[in-house]
Amino acid sequence: MFSLIIAGEAIFLLPFILMRVFKPVIRDAFVISDAQIGEAQALYGITAVFSYFFGGFIADKYEPRKLLTLSLILTALGGFWMTLIPTINGLKALYAFWGISTILLFWASLIKATRQWGNENNQGISFGLLDGGRGFFAATIALSGAGILTFFFPEKGVEITFENKVETLQYIIGSITAIVFLIALLVWIFIPKGKSKFENSKEFQFDFKKGFNLMKQKKVIYHSIIIFCAYCSYKLTGVYGTYAKDVWNYSLEEATYFAVLIQYIRPIAAISIGWIADKFVPSKIIIPSFSLLILASITLGFGLFNSLPIVLSFSTFILMALGTYSLRGLYFAIIEETKTPIQFTGTLVGIISVVGFTPDIFMSLFNGYMLGENPTVVEYQNLFSAFTIIPIIGLLATIGFRKVIKTTINQQIKH
């Protein structure tokens, strides 16, 4: 499980965590805007959507050890290219490549292995540990990167030059790339060789017709929408650091440390909510998580705390992060509630991920174009108020999911 946790976040350090935590520096070093970053990440989303679908079938056929290792190596190779600080077109091509390297051979295999590690009564803690552990690892890497910022940037009062920013960013990207390569080696060594007992059994051979039939089921449709809304919330965390810089007038270092703090909320929320969910039912706990997001986004969107001390809007971001990361720890835990056979886990993950992770295509673009070139508090308010509709849809989808599951259980009892 430890190997799965480390691998599960290492694969996304370069395409996601790097941008989420160091976005203010990246904007300056690459001389690009939020909108251009959004365009690059949209290309990631497009290639990733296709990779999610076909990756589900691959995960049900090949052993995780080979798939995870190869995926990590390919992703790290992209990190070498990024250290050269390519043009915006080069960055776009890199993100399109990462959409394949991080998903096709990796994602469904990771989720399937996690489901098999747990049993039907502890899926909450299994996926809570996976996402919480990933979050702790990502936050620690980010904190180390923030330390590099502090080390290389001049003392306060001395101007930070363009060369300072580029050199520092190259050290950060290079360090993360080396870590990803190292973890690929660890995965190859520590993840057991060979397929699971389920895949070796003739009873569990994959049936394409049954796989495609999953798409038509209401519970799968609702599940996809839940992930979609939760992932939109996760993609929104990318603006927390820039908000601190643009609205609270934090320095680059202070904004980066705020983004790191938000990252550390992830393990706390995901693991504790996963444990709580196993005491009740995971889908029940998703309801208050979406409700918390609705409350926080309304507060920020309507600027309710703008004229009050920063600590209040700061606290609102903490609450929003708690809701977001709670959802991340739960949205795959509800697979067990659908009673999907274990041999179709990879396929199911591929199907729900095609819809669920489409925010990779548009959410960064949406954030970028809503904020514009030089965002003020007004642009951020517009962003958060428009976002409010997303957790509302997620809440309704969760209620629909629970209704379908209850109906299915009642029908089984009658028979």
pLDDT digits (tens, 9 = 90+) for 47-65: 998 898 888 778 777 788 8
Q: pLDDT at residue 117 above 80? A: no
- Output the six-digit token pair for 42: 């949209």
Which burial class, exposed, middle or buried, applies to 134 when counting CB atoms under 10 A from its CB (0-12, 13-18, 19+)?
A: buried
Confidence at residue 379, expressed as pLDDT on a 0 to 100 scale: 95
Confidence at residue 203, expressed as pLDDT on a 0 to 100 scale: 42
Confidence at residue 326, expressed as pLDDT on a 0 to 100 scale: 92
Q: 385 falls in which pLDDT band (50, 70, 90)?
A: very high
Half-sphere exposure of 302 (CA within 13 A, CB side): 7
Task: Indicate the Cα dihedral angle 304, 310, 314, 315, nearest 10°.
Answer: -70
pLDDT (tens digit, 9 = 90+) per residue, 322-372?
999 999 888 888 888 888 777 777 778 888 888 898 998 889 889 988 998
CATH, domain 2-193+207-414, list 1.20.1250.20, 1.10.287.3510, 3.30.70.260, 3.40.50.1220: 1.20.1250.20
Average pLDDT over residues 300-318: 90
Average pLDDT, the chain: 85
Confidence at residue 240, expressed as pLDDT on a 0 to 100 scale: 92
In this structure, what DSSP letter does residue 15 have?
A: I
pLDDT (tens digit, 9 = 90+) per residue, 53-106?
888 778 777 788 889 999 999 999 999 999 999 999 999 999 999 999 999 988
Confidence at residue 177, expressed as pLDDT on a 0 to 100 scale: 95
Interior angle at CA 37, CA 32 and CA 41, nearest 5: 155
209-213 contacts, C-beta under 8 A, 24 or more apart: 210/344, 211/56, 211/57, 211/344, 211/347, 211/351
| Cβ-proximal residues to 83 (8 Å cutoff; 6+ apart), any chain | 170, 173, 174, 177
- Output the six-digit token pair for 382: 């517009």
Confidence at residue 208, expressed as pLDDT on a 0 to 100 scale: 59
Q: Which span out of 199-213, 249-263, 293-307 was modeled with the highest average pLDDT? A: 293-307
Task: Indicate the Cα dihedral angle 55, 57, 58, 63, nearest 10°.
Answer: 120
Q: 17 falls in which pLDDT band (50, 70, 90)?
A: confident
Q: 197 falls in which pLDDT band (50, 70, 90)?
A: very low
Confidence at residue 94, expressed as pLDDT on a 0 to 100 scale: 97
Confidence at residue 201, expressed as pLDDT on a 0 to 100 scale: 46
In this structure, what DSSP letter does residue 33 have?
A: -
Confidence at residue 257, expressed as pLDDT on a 0 to 100 scale: 87
Helices (H), 214-358: 218-236, 240-246, 252-279, 282-301, 310-330, 345-356
Q: pLDDT at residue 233 above 90? A: yes
Q: pLDDT at residue 204 above 50? A: no
Please state the domain extents for the chain.
2-193+207-414
Q: 211 falls in which pLDDT band (50, 70, 90)?
A: low
H or E segment and range at residue 158: none
Indicate yes or no: pTM above 0.85.
no
Average pLDDT over residues 234-260: 89
Confidence at residue 207, expressed as pLDDT on a 0 to 100 scale: 56
Q: How far, in Å, CA of 403 to CA of 214, rounded?
A: 18
Q: pLDDT at residue 401 above 80? A: yes
pLDDT (tens digit, 9 = 90+) per residue, 158-174?
667 888 888 888 988 99
pLDDT (tens digit, 9 = 90+) per residue, 121-155?
677 777 778 778 887 887 887 788 777 777 776 66
The share of the chain scoring above pLDDT 90, in percent, equals 37
